Chain A
Amino acid sequence: MPKARINNRIRRLRFDSNEMTQEELASRAGCTRQTIIALEQGKYVPSIELAFKIARAFGVKLEEVFQYEG
């Protein structure tokens, strides 16, 4: 099965949101800081629930945070 590529703009969005820290984003999204680090490095693809929580933490739509490149 080919590996799906899901890119994200978390780092960009953090800096656009008054330089929100990874810790703060993790707290808002209900995950650990290590998960935010893994997401920013592209090493981990989140579940749909966490993806929605992250988008909500930034106050944007899901598509503005995550992009699917099939």
Chain B
Amino acid sequence: MNLKTYQYWRIVLVAIIGAVAAVSVAIGNAYILLSAVIAGMIIIIVLRRMVKEVIADERTYTIAYKAARLSLSIVGIGMAVTGATLLAFSRDNLSATLAQVGFALLYATCGLLMINLAAYTYYSRKLGGKNE
């Protein structure tokens, strides 16, 4: 299988999973969605193995790394600022809902930073650079 055929089937698969997701939401059955997503992932893995050309290389990974880093900064800062702003407003207005949303955003930011720290520590150890 060549790269173009793989990309075509991947789009078809995503469209089918999207349709199944819509149906499962409409009828209120989460198992259908879960089964479709798992089946889709397995099919994608099988299709990937059938492709003889290189799908992703070091440049692709560099792009993904830079995009992930930028996304993390934007989402992290955005959520922290929004959460803190909502908390500040909730004190003036005594709104419990605003405070809850603010706390949720700040806890999510903390979670994001913790995962980032854990991943950074893991890769830092894996890739060396520590004084012996």
Q: B54 contacts A38, CB within 8 Å?
A: no
Given the complex, which residues of B lie within 8 Å of A49, measured CB to CB?
58
Interface range for B: under 10
Report the number of A-B residue pairs with Cβ-Cβ less than 8 Å: 28
CA distance in complex: A27, B57 (Å) = 12
Q: 1/0 per position for B41-82, CB-CB distance to A under 8 A?
A: 000000000000111111110100000000000000000000
Interface range for A: 10 to 19
Smallest CB gap from A47: residue in B: B58
Given the complex, which residues of B lie within 8 Å of A34, measured CB to CB?
59
Given the complex, which residues of A lie within 8 Å of B53, measured CB to CB?
27, 32
CA distance in complex: A32, B57 (Å) = 7
Closest 6 CB pairs of A and B: A31-B57, A35-B59, A32-B57, A32-B54, A47-B58, A35-B57
Write the residues of chain A forming the contact surface with B, with a CB cutoff of 8 angstroms.
Answer: 26-27, 30-32, 34-35, 38, 44, 46-47, 49-50
14 contacts between A and B (CB under 8 A): A26-B54, A27-B54, A30-B54, A30-B57, A31-B54, A31-B59, A32-B56, A32-B59, A32-B60, A35-B57, A35-B59, A38-B59, A47-B58, A50-B57
